[in-house]
Structure 1
Amino acid sequence: MEHRYGIAVSPGIAIGPALVLDSEGVLISHRTVPPEQADAEVARLYRALDETAATARADRERMTARLGSALGNIYGAQQSMIESGWLREQIEVRIRAESYSAEYAVSRVIRDMVKRLEEVIALRTNSGASDARRSVTEFIDVERQVLSALLGHPGNPFANLTEPVIVLANDLMPSDTADFGPRTIHAFATESGGNTSHTAILAGALELPAVVGIGRFLTDVSGGDTVIVDGSEGVLVIDPDEETLAKYREKRAKLLTRQDRYEHLRDKPSVTADAVPVPIRLLGNIELAQEAAHCLDRGAEGVGLYRTEFLYLNKSAHPTEEEHYAAYASVLGTLGSNRPVVIRTLDLGADKFSSVSGAVANEKNPFLGLRSVRLCLRQRELFVTQLRAILRAGLLGDVRVMFPMISTADELRQCKTLLNDVKEELEYAGIPFKRDLRVGTMIEVPSAALLADVLAREVDFFSIGTNDLIQYTLAADRNNEHVANLYSPADPAVLRLIRMVVQAAQKEKEHGKRAFDVNVCGEMSGEPLYIPLLVGLGLRQFSATPRKIPEIKRVIRELRIPEAEEVARRALAMESASQVTSYLRDHLRKMLPSEAVD
């Protein structure tokens, strides 16, 4: 049994067999077979090894003819490894002595060898370590090839799952997790990643327990091994013993009971405990159209952030206007015509790529490169297609459009100009659309926060995207576990920028004599710890992953505005994130003494 620790990004506990994506990419569903099947398993093993060796031989000949013997010999080394009598003997011994399936025996033998090589790497000099690292890569590649042959060269690893699994990988792209379903994927854990990566956000949306940024662990686990993912504490347990299994089963049952505790709040108003209660609007963040139902289930008053880039993933061509329209219509059909739906325009680039988007995947600094509205203004056909669909869908309900990653006033004005051009095109073509569509902008970079008073004159609402605002303010990549200690929502610099945005909006509301909403839609808005602080800063609208809404409502209904304002005043006077976080935890414990506060 081994415990590994990473970043908790989506709460919950899952127990089940591992599906290791870095090597086999398939589920080894049976670790053992009846002893009488040993001969058949050995025969399967030898057929798979022979097939894999033949493929390596053919690859060696082809690459030698094309690129010379030096590169061709790489495949020759793999061929020799696969044909090695020692390797075959070791795998066969596991099948016969321990009744392992052929697949599990292959994975276990090779993983044990890889683990020993990793220990050698840790002791050697750079030159000696490099040879060992190459051997590790070759062994894992051989494992992948042999398993693929044993399992009939499966394609999509999730297509034919017959039991729920826990996905383990070095890293996952949003396109990987887009196919995850809660009935077949119960959790995931990765070696890389950060707590606000979009993969982590999607895990929250799908309500899958997840831990990321664990560091190297994949060589210690094989497909089919029992693992535990604790997405609340950031723990991965590999091959747990019976005592540990019992402990986590009990913990999982208690966690489910705690979640049920808030269900009675679903239909209660989200208002403070003041003598004259102050209403706080709670909205849901969604990635996929079907998540709109989650918003209703958890008592959300609408959708505050509909991330639309997932329409572009796993596609061989751009989504059409009708595909956009159908997705938006589905959300509106679920929520009804009176609940707001804020559609954020395409936000690809940085850590989100699509083969058809036009985003540049190999930029040296993608978070500062061609992403979001910069990409849309460069690839205008993408932008126009989406804006047409949003304007048309506006007739179905309370639709609003929001532009992400705005960094200058000119950039925002270009987006508004293009929106007006699209309106004229629809008008000319006689296509019905919503003429008075409300327009908003995300506040995600410091320049936008500093220019909030200027931007407020251009739009109808703000939505503060705290995930990006934090990383750009603190110059800490939100996906990089090495600087996770710097990335903090409680940093005083971040709090001062949020206050600046709220003050600009309040001033615009007073001077402009119009409604002007300010929403918070980043992960910060879904954490009960920060709700008193944000309310004290003047925020009256939050948008979060639907499952977070009952817990947020619980905090709001115990909160009083003067108390929240005092929390904000004290926090703003502090000099470090650690001071603010400690203070907020103490306050929340006093406010909710019966609740566990992390």
Structure 2
Amino acid sequence: MQIKKGIPVSPGVAIYPALVLDAEDQPIPRRSVSASRVPHEHERLDQAIAASIDELEQLRQQTATALGEELAKIFDFHQGMLRDEYLIKQIRAIVDADRVTAEYAVYQATHRLAETFLQQERSYLRERVSDVYDLQKRILKHLVGYTRTELSQLTSPAVVVAHDLTPSQTAALDKTKIKGLATDAGGRTSHTAILAHALGIPAVVGLGSITRQIASGETVIIDGHQGQIIIDPDAAKLMEYRQELRRMAAMEDTLGELSKLPAVTKDGTKVNLLANIEFPSEIPPAIHNGAVGIGLYRTEFLFLAADNEPAEQEQYETYVEAIRNLDGLPLTVRTLDLGADKLTHQMTLAGGDTHERNPFLGCRSIRLCLQNLPLFKTQLRAILRASTQGPVKIMFPLISNIMELRQAKMILNDVMEDLDEQGIEYARDIPIGIMVEVPSAALQARAFTREVDFFSIGTNDLIQYTVAVDRGNERIASLYSAAHPAVISLIKEIIRAGQRAKIDVSLCGEMAGEPEFTMLLLGLGLRCFSITPPAIPEIKRILRSVNIEQCQKVARRVSAFDSDREVLNYLRDELGKVVPEAIGGRSARY
């Protein structure tokens, strides 16, 4: 048995035989043509490109119908490349200069383009390599009939293991046959990762050399929660994960009942359960699961899915769709939370050079927005205009000092004044909040309460910055722990500061959706959880099984521990006493 760690991009668990796709491309042999045949090769190229554009338009429409217009924009990037005169001229030039077939020219030109993308400093551009190969395969299919293994030919369920999947392949996956994805390449913001998440297929990417370590037919466990791939699991590991699947299935069976019940503790304390989403299409299932609003709407996928900066009207329409899907429930919109390295080269940024040695400590999130006011103001205008359609809150990410917040609020006021001058309506009492995810902001929480209407604790980054651990670094991943006493102390102080100032405090990091921490967070005073929609029923079941006095005792006891292992063991023991089935096989994986 081998366990490999990668980057989790879509949650869930799958246990199935592996289908390993070839990692290497099939090279196209060089074949010369006579001078008289060159015009014919140009004609073949034009026909293949036209057929490819038609196919992409069909795929775009299918994706828009199945997953929404926002995700369908991924294929605008592909169509744009096929209409790029510079690329077409390069292919034609190879045919003319070397007197070779159109397919060989396409193969050569696209490989050169892929190499150019790979050499870019910005990760966004490096991750577009799979898009280039997607186009290459599509054009070659029309020229010579060559394509990758057709996943649609699968006759039984499997997990797909590949060097990488193209966005077209991912969008066309049959969820009844493809139960999980594992790839050598890829990152959290690749188009393939975005589509896998939207499809609800458990996926782990960035595994390095997983295609060389798994044989087709070999049993594989994909754990999309923890970013783990378990190859040839032993009997104990299989039993553990099968128990987890049964537990998850049992939870789904009680979903309808739980979604209708109020989120209150045994002693009558009300708790708000909100959902974290990326797309408006996720709202109906989140409400079905019991969410009473959206505590975190991540807007960065509007920028990642498009080749150019999304226009104000485009953003406005997306926000309005989300508001209408909520039908009066609140929506908290987080402004752009990306680094400059993730934006496309068409998105003009102040300062020009976007290369940074350490993007996590660089120009990202609110810092990026404050240095690129046209981009920031466009998003704020779209949010404000949409706020007339229902209850909306605005949340600024990665605030690290008071002056950053004041500057962001000043820009928001400028946008409001512009809308007033133009006679455009917006909600004038729109609540403003911040994500508390930097230790400096957590330590200054009391000062921030005088400046905002609410806090949302972003534990993913708060943990990372507090314990100085890159959560995507496999070598030190074990040091990244929500149970670290220092992290718990910061959360306690943030909640306390909010209570004293009588402002709302929620927690929107992954920690909020982990059952082990529910009693602790309740005991610390948290009364609003914002979590991934599938986790809502389980968290609701736990909070309905406890009373606040129990939880406060747990919080007091935890404050005496000085290691994360002590904290975790104690929290699991206490949860096991209240809801034994909530623990299941988790202890071996955390």
Quick one: distance in 1 between partners of 2:406 and 2:24? Answer: 48
Equivalence for 1:319: 310
Superposed CA offset, 1:518-568 (max 9, x none): 010000001111111111111100001101000010110011101111111
Superposed CA offset, 1:413-444 (max 9, x none): 00000000000000100111111111000001
Shift in CA distance, 179/367, structure 1 to aligned 2, threshold 3 Å: farther
**Contact between 2:572 and 2:583, CA under 8 Å: does it hold in 1?**
no
Shift in CA distance, 518/426, structure 1 to aligned 2, threshold 3 Å: same
SS of residue in 1 equivalent to 2:487 = helix
Residue 405 of structure 1 is aligned with which of 394, 398, 401? 398
Q: CA deviation at 1:348?
A: 0.9
Residue 52 of structure 1 is aligned with which of 29, 32, 50? 29
Shift in CA distance, 245/453, structure 1 to aligned 2, threshold 3 Å: closer
Which structure 2 residues correspond to residues 494-513 of structure 1 after superposition, within 5 A?
494-509=487-502
Query: Quick check: 1:344 aligned with 2:334?
Result: yes
Superposed CA offset, 1:277-336 (max 9, x none): 000000000001111112112110010000000001132211011111111111111110
Equivalence for 1:471: 464
Quick one: distance in 2 between partners of 1:178 and 1:389? Answer: 29
Superposed CA offset, 1:100-159 (max 9, x none): xxxxxxxxxxxxxxxxxxxxxxxxxxxxxxxxxxxxxxxxxx9x9999968968999899
Q: CA deviation at 1:571?
A: 1.1
User: What is the TM-score of this pair, normalised by structure 2?
Assistant: 0.71
Q: Give 2:308's aligned amino acid.
A: A
Equivalence for 2:16: 15
5+ unaligned residues in a row in structure 2: which ranges?
33-89, 98-103, 109-132
Q: CA deviation at 1:5?
A: 3.5
5+ unaligned residues in a row in structure 1: which ranges?
25-47, 67-74, 80-141, 510-515
* Aligned length, in residue pairs: 484
Equivalence for 1:519: 506
Superposed CA offset, 1:367-420 (max 9, x none): 001100111111111111110111111111110000000001000000000000
Query: Quick check: 1:584 aligned with 2:571?
Result: yes
**Contact between 2:337 and 2:364, CA under 8 Å: does it hold in 1?**
yes
Equivalence for 1:300: 291
Q: CA deviation at 1:211?
A: 4.0
Residue 537 of structure 2 is aligned with which of 535, 539, 550? 550
**Contact between 2:433 and 2:455, CA under 8 Å: does it hold in 1?**
yes
Q: CA deviation at 1:12?
A: 2.1
Quick one: distance in 2 between partners of 1:374 and 1:175? Answer: 34
Which structure 2 residues correspond to residues 55-74 of structure 1 after superposition, within 5 A?
none
Q: CA deviation at 1:232?
A: 6.0
Equivalence for 2:71: none
Residue 182 of structure 2 is aligned with which of 189, 214, 226? 189
| Percent of aligned positions that are identical | 45
Shift in CA distance, 401/335, structure 1 to aligned 2, threshold 3 Å: same
**Contact between 2:184 and 2:210, CA under 8 Å: does it hold in 1?**
yes
**Contact between 2:161 and 2:210, CA under 8 Å: does it hold in 1?**
no
Which structure 2 residues correspond to residues 23-172 of structure 1 after superposition, within 5 A?
23-24=24-25, 51-54=28-31, 166-168=159-161
Quick one: distance in 1 between partners of 2:568 and 2:421? Answer: 55
Which structure 2 residues correspond to residues 208-227 of structure 1 after superposition, within 5 A?
208-211=201-204, 214=207, 216-221=209-214
Shift in CA distance, 581/200, structure 1 to aligned 2, threshold 3 Å: farther
Query: Quick check: 1:528 aligned with 2:518?
Result: no
Which structure 2 residues correspond to residues 180-579 of structure 1 after superposition, within 5 A?
186-191=179-184, 207-211=200-204, 214=207, 216-221=209-214, 228-231=221-224, 236=229, 252=245, 255-274=248-267, 277-337=268-328, 339-349=329-339, 352-357=342-347, 362-509=355-502, 516-579=503-566
Quick one: distance in 2 between partners of 1:489 and 1:346? Answer: 25
SS of residue in 2 equivalent to 1:256 = helix
Quick one: distance in 2 between partners of 1:318 and 1:474? Answer: 34
Q: Give 1:558's aligned amino acid.
A: S
Q: CA deviation at 1:231?
A: 3.8
Q: CA deviation at 1:162?
A: 6.5
Q: CA deviation at 1:210?
A: 3.2
**Contact between 1:348 and 1:354, CA under 8 Å: does it hold in 2?**
no
Quick one: distance in 1 between partners of 2:568 and 2:233? Answer: 33
Quick one: distance in 2 between partners of 1:20 and 1:206? Answer: 20
SS of residue in 2 equivalent to 1:266 = helix
SS of residue in 2 equivalent to 1:413 = helix
Q: Give 2:13's aligned amino acid.
A: G
Shift in CA distance, 420/195, structure 1 to aligned 2, threshold 3 Å: closer
Equivalence for 2:120: none
Quick one: distance in 1 between partners of 2:269 and 2:334? Answer: 28
Structure with the greater alpha carbon radius of gyration: 1
Q: CA deviation at 1:199?
A: 9.3
Q: Give 1:13's aligned amino acid.
A: A
SS of residue in 1 equivalent to 2:181 = strand
Q: CA deviation at 1:259?
A: 2.9
Shift in CA distance, 467/158, structure 1 to aligned 2, threshold 3 Å: farther
Equivalence for 1:6: 5
Q: Give 1:15's aligned amino acid.
A: Y
Quick one: distance in 2 between partners of 1:461 and 1:175? Answer: 41
Q: CA deviation at 1:365?
A: 0.5
Root mean square deviation of aligned Cα: 4.4
Q: CA deviation at 1:475?
A: 0.5
SS of residue in 1 equivalent to 2:478 = coil
**Contact between 2:515 and 2:582, CA under 8 Å: does it hold in 1?**
no
Shift in CA distance, 148/573, structure 1 to aligned 2, threshold 3 Å: farther
Quick one: distance in 2 between partners of 1:566 and 1:250? Answer: 30
**Contact between 2:273 and 2:291, CA under 8 Å: does it hold in 1?**
yes
Shift in CA distance, 454/251, structure 1 to aligned 2, threshold 3 Å: closer
